[in-house]
Amino acid sequence: MKLPLSHAEFLETYWQQRPLLLPQAVPNFTSPLSPEELAGLALEPAVSSRLIHCDHGVWQKTDGPFSAKDFQSGGTWTLLVENVDQWHEGVRALYPHLSLLPTWRFDDVMVSYAVDGAGVGPHFDRYDVFLLQGLGEREWRIGPICDGNTPQMNTEGLSLIAEFEPTETYILKTGDVLYVPPGLAHWGVARGACMTYSFGFRAPAISDLIARRADSILDRLAQTTLLEDGHSVSVPCRPGEITEAHLANARDAIANASEALDNLRWFGEVVTEQKIDMEDTLTPSALAHPDQAARLVSINCVAWSEYGEYIDVFIAGEAFRIPKTALEALVALCSGGELLVADLSANYPELLDALLLQGALEPCPA
C-alpha cells in the first residue's frame, strides 16, 4: 500500500486517531474477485456472509449461506463476505499490501458488493480498517468518533448510529484506500454497483490482556504467599483506617510478584487465538507425502518472540518453545510463504509438531 506520507508520520498522526484518504494507494488495482465469485462464496455454508437490505429507510440483515435467487431480488442491498483471504488465492495474494503493520495485528479481509445506492448504514467499528475500493465508486460519509454512549438504533441485529451527521465526504475510485480508525462513524454509499475490500486490524482488548496475564501469574504464585507489611503497618493510623502507605505497600507487592512471575507469554497467546477455523488444515498424516507443500492457514495465527537460543512461538493461542534454528522457516511461513512438509520434518520437527498440533498448516493449492 503506497502512503502519501512517511510510515512514521502515518502512525503518529493518523493511526487509531483520524481518517486518511490514500488516493491510488494500490495503483492499477484490479479486483482479484468478481461479483459472481463473491456471490459464489456466499453460497458455501462454511463461509461467513450477510446481506443487508435497506428499503424506504427500513434496514434488514440476513445471514448466509445464501442461494442464487437471494441475489436476484430487487431493492437496495449489500453482500458482505468475511475472511475472504482464507477462501480465495487472489485475495490472499494481497497480503504484501499489509506490511505496514505487524502480521499478528491483522484480522481479516472482508469483501462487499453493493448495488447502486446501497450501503450498510451509518455505524462504527471497534477495529482499524483500510477500505480499498475494488470496483466502481463509493461515497464515504464520515462523522465523529463514537463510543458506547453514542445513541444507536439496534434493529435486526444491526447497530446503526441514530443521528448521523457527516462532517466529511470522500469519493473513492478503484485503487483508492480510506483508513478509518476504531470508533469513527462512517457510511459508504455505492455510486453504481461497487466492491470494497476491508482490511481489518483488531487490537486486543486491554481487559483480555489483564485477565490472561493475571491468570498466568496466578498459575505460578503459591496461594499461601502472604502480603509482607511489616514496614507499612508501622506507620501510625486511626482505628479502621487504610492509609496511603498500606495501599502503596499492597500495590508494590502485586507489581513485584507480577514482574517476577511473568512468563511474558500472555500477549502472544491472546493475539494469535481465535484465528483458525480447523476445517481443511493439515493433519499429521500429511507427513506421509514428502512432496506436500504447506503454509499457514492465515498469516495472523502465528507470532513469535526471540529469547537467546530459543524462540517462543505462539500458535492459535498456545505457546511453544523451539530452537532458534527454525527462525528462517518461521519468518518464511509468517510472510505467507510455503515450505515442504519434508523440509520442516527433517530440519524443524519441533516447529512442525507445534503447527500440526494447533491445526495451523494447510496444504498449498496444486
Cβ–Cβ under 8 Å, residues 29 and 174: yes
Q: Indicate the residue whose CB is closest to Co ion.
A: 125
Looking at beta carbons only, is 78 or 358 nearer to ligand SIN?
Answer: 78
Question: Which three cell numbers mark 33?
Answer: 474477485
Distance CA 74, CA 162 (A): 26
Interface residues with ligand SIN (CB under 6 A) are 78, 112, 114, 119-120, 125, 129, 186, 188, 196, 198
Q: Please say which residue, 196 or 272, places its beta carbon nearer to ligand SIN.
A: 196
Phi, psi of 139 (to 5 degrees): -95, 125
Minimum separation from the CB atom of position 153 to Co ion (A): 16
Q: How far is the CB of 337 from ligand SIN (least distance, A)?
A: 29
Taking the least distance from each CB to ligand SIN, the nearer of 192 and 349 is 192
Using CB under 5 A as the binding criterion, the count of chain residues that bind Co ion stands at 1
b or e along 201-237 (b: 16 or more beta carbons within 10 Å of the residue's beta carbon)?
Answer: bbeeeeeeeeebbeebbeeeeeeeeeeeeeebeeeee
| The three grid cell numbers given for residue 268, joined into one nine-digit string | 502472544
Torsion, Cα 42 48 54 55, to 10 degrees, reads: 50
* Residue reference for cell 491510488: 24
Pick from ligand SIN, Co ion, none: which does 86 bind, CB < 5 to 8 A by kind?
A: none
Residue 273 lies near Co ion (rule: CB under 5 A) = no
For β-strands 184-201 and 128-145, DSSP reports them as: antiparallel
Measure the CA–CA gap between 177 and 14, rounded to whole angstroms.
14
Binding-site partner at residue 88 among ligand SIN, Co ion, none, CB < 5 to 8 Å by type: none
Nearest residue (CB) to ligand SIN, 121 versus 268: 121
- Residue 112 contact partner, candidates Co ion, ligand SIN, none, CB within 5 to 8 A by sort of partner: ligand SIN
Among 125, 137, 139, 338, binds Co ion (CB under 5 A): 125
- CB atoms under 10 Å from CB of 308, counted, come to 6
Is the Cβ of residue 38 or residue 129 nearer to Co ion in the bound state? 129
- Give min distance, CB of 124 to ligand SIN, in A: 9
Q: Rounded distance, CA 143 to CA 186, Å?
A: 6
Q: Given the complex with ligand SIN, which of 157 and 284 has the nearer CB atom?
A: 157
- 188 is in the binding site of which of ligand SIN, Co ion, none (Cβ under 5 to 8 A by kind)? ligand SIN
Instruction: Name the residues that contact Co ion, by CB under 5 A.
Output: 125
